[in-house]
Chain A
Amino acid sequence: MPLDDQTPGQKPGEARQFKVVGTRPLRPDGIDKVTGRARFGADMSAPGMLIGRVLRSPHAHARIRSIDASKAEALEGVKAVVTRADFGAGDDDVADILDNCMAGEKALYDGHAVAAVAATSAAIARKALKLIDVDYETLPHVVDVDAAMKPDAPVLHEGLSDETVPDGVSQNVVHRVEFGHGDVEAGFAKADKVLERSFKTAATHQGYIEPHACLATMGTDGIADLWVCTQGHYMVRNTCAAILGIDQGKLRVTASEIGGGFGGKTTVFLEPVALALSRKANRPVKMTMTREEVLRATGPTSSTSIDVKIGMNKDGKITAASADLRYQGGAYQGSPADMGSMTAFAPYDLENVKTVGWDVVTNRPKAAAYRAPGAPMAAFAVESVVDELAKGFGLDPLDVRLKNAAREGTKSSYGPTFPAIGLEATLQAAKDHPHWKAPLGPNQGRGVACGFWFNFGGDTCVSLNITPDGTVTLSEGNPDIGGSRASMSMMAAEELGIPYDQVRTVIADTGALGQNEVTDGSRVTFAVGLATIKAARNAKKVLCERAAMVWGIDPEAVEWADGCARPAGDNAGKFPPMSLKEIAAIASNTGGPVAGHFEVNAEGAGVSFATHMVDTEVDPETGAVKVVRYTVFQDAGKAVHPAYVEGQFQGGAVQGIGWALNEEYIYGEDGRLQNPGFLDYRIPVASDLPMIDTVILEIPNPGHPYGVRGVGETSIVPPLAAIANSVSEAAGVRMTDLPMSPPKVLAAIQNG
């Protein structure tokens, strides 16, 4: 009985016909979210709850000589004050995370937490913060990546550089990586033209609208509960347990609804602090960040400085390509320079390619993941040079990309050989689209660019339980950011052959399932979907066994189709089909409740490619840029819920527009962040944008039963480059410095 990879009646090689997957049902969390009753991080309260607040360093770099909290502790209503002294040494692998949550010997950036209080009201907590005396010895600071690499730069951490770092650079350089194959120098020698350009990108923030928030309750026995907005509550459990020195099993973490993450909620900030305050006060403690705290102290991405060199023949063939990518990751190691280096040339089939990445620390908040971490900046630099070379030869930029496109069998620039991939399909769709041929108005330009993201799998647990009335509850362990509960219910319904509304998916707390990787790496629809399908198949196996028991035939002679157990053929005997509801109703008498489980470290995520096309208009007198038309072409493998796939494409494109045009971290001479608010950290608003058109390509991922690939991250990789190529054409001058804010564009136009 072919339960595993095919549906009954499906011939090998034939595309599967879906009934639920590919439709657009309403989301199960929808009514809660349009009526205001969905509970996000800050929406939970507890009896006897205290309010926690954090004191943050006003200095970019300072030694903390001492902290005197006695006056704060004496204030009426203050129930606990914690500093680094209240945390143990912690495990080595969380040392940086702990130090980022609560500074130790030094404050390493403007906004670094140095103390926290819990009080009976927010007003008292705020007042208490002002009563804490911190004696700082200010130190020289550095925030620019190139400056931080210089041998005489102020050093954040002595002795952090590893053996990959050559002599002659600052100790702020933590790690150097190299990828590639072939002989780039020989390749450049063969090129008709070699173009080398340098690029800069500013740090940007994920910009989720919901600030970090949590509610912690912890007793002196180490038993604790935490309600938190996070992309991964299992990660929160494990990290907090390690920091606080308690058993993972004693800390139960429940994920709230999450108001956006984009990678920025894949680590902890407030959570260990709230637990420590709760333990000390022996009362529940709620903590929320202000927007200013979010921008000063949580997850921006790296600012970068990148050199790209590409050799091309006049027919458009790339002979060799190299890049040097310098990423500052804030005050601790771990910038995504490695992923930038791996993704930079991934869209191309290259004989000779080399990338070198540098992980550099600076006096800025520790970089957190941001949607395809490291890739958009690398793509900006590479795709700009490809574009300039193509246009220099008078070639169609899409043709040049098609000519060099990675395809099945290409040895990628970062090592592996690609299986079936969708890059050519996106390029061809772009070439065939009316947008490509539409006329441009005055001062307008059109840009295209490609982007790549790996996509991840990882640890995943799913439990699918069938209720006595035959409806289905699916428990999974990944916070739902963009509609994954709907997608999981759809895949379970598809597999079981029942209507979508018969399945309810819930995000289980950490007490209910085994380990689950964070909602990141565009993994959820792929990995949790895969586990859901396999769990449903395990449940179907039990359902078939129960029917076989009733019919008195061999379980192997029963198959599952259209929501019913059926005899597999005439030889199996003639019995009317038994529906899921019928089997569920007698489950207690046939062996007990029916469930399906699946636990896996999912592999085979399937890489993803996109091509973006954008028209911009530049005001030559002011440098203002208006996005007038935008189309996304991306491979989704199989779009489970096409509306949510479109939403991911659109959201990524618009975050990319913000990054390209106006978003940036602006530091003053004093190393303090000058724009920690949505007023001057300028994310796109509705009136800035046109509709974002989408074209979904479906090149099935062989690693998923339905062909699904992750779609969430790839969509932010091409826009920086696509917009830069478009603006460069419209302005008549090559833009190499992001964001392309009006003063920069105007200066470029005026300087020719």
Chain B
Amino acid sequence: MIYEVPETVDSAVALLSGATGSARILAGGTDLLVQMKSGVVEPDLVVDIKRIDGMKSIAQEDGGWRIGAAVSGAEMGEHQALCAAWPGVVEAMELIGSTQVQGRATLAGNLCNASPAADSVPAMVAAGAVVRVAGPDGVRDIPVEEIPVKPGKTSLGKGEFVTSVFLPARPVNSGDAYLRFIPRTEMDIAVVGCGVSLTLDEAGTCTAARVGLGAVAATVLVVEDAAAALIGSKADDTALDKMAAAVSAACKPIDDKRGTVAFRTHVAGVLAKRAAKIALARAQG
């Protein structure tokens, strides 16, 4: 294995493009090192992107926030303006692993690990996050939900890597939230995860909503029917029940060591409702 620490995006892309064997990006390493330890992954090249300019920064841009690919969850949690703008995304990120894992784990890494249970991804989906990818053909921006294509696999091509995640400007009277279900209070992988973001008009009617679901299908789900159930409503109990039913209907989960089909399907609706209530309260200020 070769370990490289490029200082520019271009040199990182060059290293990745020129790799003859398997190549991996190292930002926080909290997934990569576990996979290397178990022998699931034996990379020939590891590219540590932390010394590339911009990878460790959280910057305001067009009223939104650009989060570098190597920014840790702990750094996001300490950024007050980011927490105020997108509390659901930050909370989702902060749910991943322990305090120790928070010291290293990144949004981009959580996304590119392509686990259907990644906590930050449904929240980013709800937030309408856009991912910036650098590669041999230059830079492109992609909606977050288009990155994972199946468990463990992303849509990134050879030589490409995520350099940042952009959270758009937060409209007025809007709020987001993320909840997950785990058997313990910490340290587990989500059995179900649900992110909700919604916007209200002056009268308190929901004008826009996005609902993201994790751990109930091969990739994160964007549940249009759930959003539709909220839009035009006051997000009252009737609307929330309709949204929860839409969420449960969208689930295509499996039985595994973490939960059953029936459990995941039911709890997805429960969590969606609870998350929507938090998002609503935030939108109402």
Q: Give chain A's interface residues, CB within 8 Å of chain B.
A: 290, 292, 621-624, 661-662, 666, 674-675, 678-680, 682, 684-685, 687-688, 741-743, 746-747, 750
Decide if A741 touches B183 in the complex (CB within 8 Å).
yes
Complex contact B184–A685 (CB within 8 A): yes
- Which of chain B's residues 240-270 have a Cβ closer than 8 Å to chain A? 256-260, 262-263, 266-267, 270
Chain B residues closer than 8 Å to A666, beta-carbon distance: 257
Q: Once bound together, how far apart are the Cα atoms of A578 and B266, in whole Å?
A: 79
Distance in Å: Cβ of A431 to nearest Cβ of chain B: 31
CB contacts (< 8 Å) of A662 on chain B: these are 183-184
Pick the interface stretch among B127-135, B161-169, B185-193. B185-193
Binding site secondary structure of chain A: loop
The answer to whether B188 and A746 have CB atoms under 8 Å apart is no
**Least Cβ–Cβ distance between A288 and chain B, in angstroms:** 13
Query: A682, B184: Cβ atoms under 8 Å?
Result: yes
Given the interface contacts A621-B270, A674-B257, does A742 sit within 8 Å of B183 by beta carbon? Answer: yes
Min Cβ gap A701→B in Å is 38
Q: Which residues of A contact B263 (CB under 8 A)?
A: 623, 742-743, 746-747
| B80 contacts the other chain (CB 8 A) | no
Residues of B within 8 A of A (CB): 37-38, 181, 183-189, 191, 256-260, 262-263, 266-267, 270
Question: Quick check: A622 and B188 within 8 Å, CB to CB?
Answer: no
Q: How far apart sit A746 and B184, CA to CA, in the bound complex (Å)?
A: 15
- Contacting pair B257 A622 (CB below 8 A): no
Residues of chain A within 8 A of B184, CB atoms compared: 662, 682, 684-685, 687-688
Given contacts A290-B37, A687-B184, A743-B260, 19 further A-B contacts (CB under 8 A): A621-B270, A622-B267, A624-B181, A662-B183, A662-B184, A675-B257, A678-B187, A682-B183, A684-B184, A685-B184, A685-B187, A687-B185, A688-B184, A742-B181, A743-B263, A746-B263, A747-B260, A747-B262, A750-B266
Establish whether residues A622 and B185, one from each chain, have CB atoms under 8 Å apart when the complex forms. Answer: no
**Measured CA separation A624–B274 after assembly (Å):** 15
Q: Report how far A174 CA is from B262 CA in the complex, Å.
A: 38
Minimum CB–CB distance for A289 against chain B, Å: 14
CB B267 to nearest CB in A, in angstroms, measures 5
Chain A nearest CB from B245 CB (Å) reads 14
CA A743 to CA B256, docked complex, whole Å: 11
Query: B258 to chain A: closest CB distance in Å?
Result: 7
Bound state CA distance, A713 and B258, in angstroms? 30
CB of B180 to closest CB in A, whole Å: 11
Taking the nearest CB of chain B, how far is it from the CB of A747, in angstroms? Answer: 7
Residues of chain A lying within 8 A (CB to CB) of residue B191 = 742
Provide the bound-state CA to CA distance between A20 and B37, in Å: 49
The residue among A623, A662, A674, A742 with the most chain B CB atoms within 10 A of its own CB is: A742
- Distance A674 CA – B188 CA, assembled complex (angstroms): 15
Contact A746:B266 (CB < 8 A) given known A292-B38, A666-B257 = yes
A679 touches B181 (CB 8 A): no
Query: How far, in Å, is B8 (CB) from chain A's closest CB?
Result: 32
Collect the chain B residues with CB atoms within 8 Å of residue A290's CB.
Answer: 37
Q: Of all chain A residues, which has the CB nearest B255?
A: A743
For A623, the chain B residues whose CB sits under 8 A away are 263
CA distance A679 to B184 in the complex (A): 11
The answer, among B37, B38, B258, B266, for a CB contact under 8 Å with A680, is B258
- Bound complex: CA of A27 vs CA of B188, how far in Å? 35
On chain A, the residues within 8 Å of B38 by CB distance are 292
With A292-B38, A622-B270, A624-B181 known to touch, is A687 a contact of B186 (CB < 8 Å)?
yes
A-B contact pairs, 9 of them (CB 8 A): A624-B181, A679-B188, A680-B188, A682-B184, A682-B187, A688-B186, A743-B259, A743-B262, A747-B263
Would you give the shortest CB distance from A508 to chain B, in whole angstroms?
A: 37
Q: Which residue of B lies closest to A739 (CB)?
A: B183
Distance of A624 Cα from B192 Cα, bound (Å): 13
Residues of A within 8 A of B270 (CB): 621-622
List 9 tightest A-B contacts by C-beta distance, closest first.
Answer: A743-B263, A687-B185, A621-B270, A666-B257, A674-B257, A743-B260, A662-B183, A688-B185, A687-B186
Q: How far is the CA of A742 from the CA of B263 in the complex (A)?
A: 8
Q: Which residues of B contact A622 (CB under 8 A)?
A: 181, 267, 270
A622 to B185, CA, bound (A): 13
Name B262's closest neighbour in chain A (CB-CB). A747
What's the Cα separation between A746 and B181 when bound, in Å?
A: 13
Docked pose: A688 CA to B38 CA in angstroms: 28
Docked Cα-Cα span, A688 to B185, in Å, equals 6
Known contacts A621-B270, A622-B270, A742-B263, A685 near B185 by CB under 8 Å:
yes
CA distance A108 to B184 in the complex (A): 32
Chain A residues with CB below 8 A from B186, complex form: 685, 687-688
Bound together, the chains give a CA A750 to CA B266 distance in angstroms of 11
Q: Shortest CB–CB separation between residue A667 and chain B, in angstroms?
A: 10
Once the chains are docked, how many angstroms separate the CA of A413 from the CA of B70?
64
Report which of B187, B256, B260, B267 forms a contact with A679, defined as CB distance below 8 A.
B187
A742 to B264, CA, bound (A): 11
Bound-complex Cα distance A750 to B262 (A): 11
Do residues A682 and B188 form an inter-chain contact, with CB atoms below 8 A? yes
Instruction: List B contacts of A621 (CB < 8 A).
Output: 267, 270
